[in-house]
Amino acid sequence: MILLREFSDYVCLPSVSIRAVLERINRTAHLFQLVVDTDGRLLGTVTDGDIRRAMLTGVGLDAPASVCMKTQPLTGRIGETAKNFEKLGGIGSTRRFLPILDDQSRVAELFIGSKGDLGIATALVMAGGFGKRLGERTKCTPKPLLQVGGRPILDRVISALEDSGVPSITLSVHYLSEQIYDFVSARDNRAHIHFVEETQPLGTAGALGLVKDIERSPVLVVNGDVLTGCDFVALHDFHMRHGLDGTIGVTRYDVDVPYGVIRQDEEGFFAGIEEKPRISNFVAGGVYYLSPAFLALVPLGRPFDMPELLNSGREIGLRIGLFPIHEYWTDVGHPEDLEAADAHHRVDNE
């Protein structure tokens, strides 16, 4: 545990935008901000998880922090060290922080707890697809090795997992797998890289049945054609804090209808017209965090897709949450998406 008397990086005003709060969170080692008034009095707290839950209800990133803050957080009192330590939970607690207030309810100190777990233990990257939608680009090169911003897609995916502290990564391979073996062998890997070979295509979830040694910890499943800045550490924290069996990384997808949409009442009469509306939905982002309970639902030796697995889990009562990905995200399955991702990452590299 850490006691901070200088904590300016961890406080914000209620009027600042959620976008600005996220920028502040990303500049610190922890996933929260204390919301205070101009005199330093505590008004509430905002965590990364609070923001993502608000996003599920339609709250945008330009809304003020006050929209999603908790207004009655647990607090400690200055000079009550033993009680404060007990409130934080003592050694081994998963509680992340405790603001310490003076007699005027101003934040005087900040207790930050130690991590209660070791984070994501293992990840599975689905890298065996044929990439047929990319045409001639994948005739002689597997999709994960196509270049985006001067680097193979797979290199970017693995690096993102390594940057998040994932110690063990399994690649599920099939099409032109020898090239992927050679690439990983020549790469300067920070994580332990393992392989499972699909002798026949097993769909978007079937390879989970081939992965060993994940009986105790959740496994992070990432599609090999997804590039994202998703905060995997925050995803793990979200999953654990809500006691979930599965967490789906979702991203918002908008469709602009080019016509006036007619609304009707229950009797089929005209109720109104909405001119060229935008329809917005959350869609699966190719990122899944699944507990071992899901693995027992994966059949061996036959194709099995992620929607089947998730629906099967829901039917038997497994708790499945949604984790909005507000960071950069793109699926590079189509030529235009690949070109856009290449342009995006080339700009980043300049």
Write b or e for each residue in 80-100: b if 16 or more Cβ atoms lie within 10 A of its Cβ, otherwise e. Answer: eeeebbebbbeeebebbbbbb
Kindly tell me if the per-residue pLDDT of 87 is higher than 90: no
Kindly tell me if the per-residue pLDDT of 91 is higher than 50: no
Kindly tell me if the per-residue pLDDT of 195 is higher than 90: yes
Q: What is the pLDDT of residue 313?
A: 96
pLDDT in tens, 144-165: 999 999 999 999 999 999 999 9
Q: In what order do the strands lie in the sheet with 219-223?
A: 192-197, 168-173, 122-126, 219-223, 278-290, 246-256, 320-324
Which helix (H) or strand (E) segment is 21 a member of? helix 18-26
* Stretch 264-288: mean pLDDT: 95
Kindly tell me if the per-residue pLDDT of 72 is higher than 60: yes
Q: What is the pLDDT of residue 30?
A: 86
Output the pTM of the full model: 0.88
CATH of domain 122-349: 3.90.550.10
Q: Where in the chain is the domain with CATH 3.90.550.10?
A: 122-349
CATH of domain 2-112: 3.10.580.10
Write b or e for each residue in 273-299: b if 16 or more Cβ atoms lie within 10 A of its Cβ, otherwise e. Answer: eeeeeeeeebebbbbbbbbeebeebbe
Q: Where in the chain is the domain with CATH 3.10.580.10?
A: 2-112
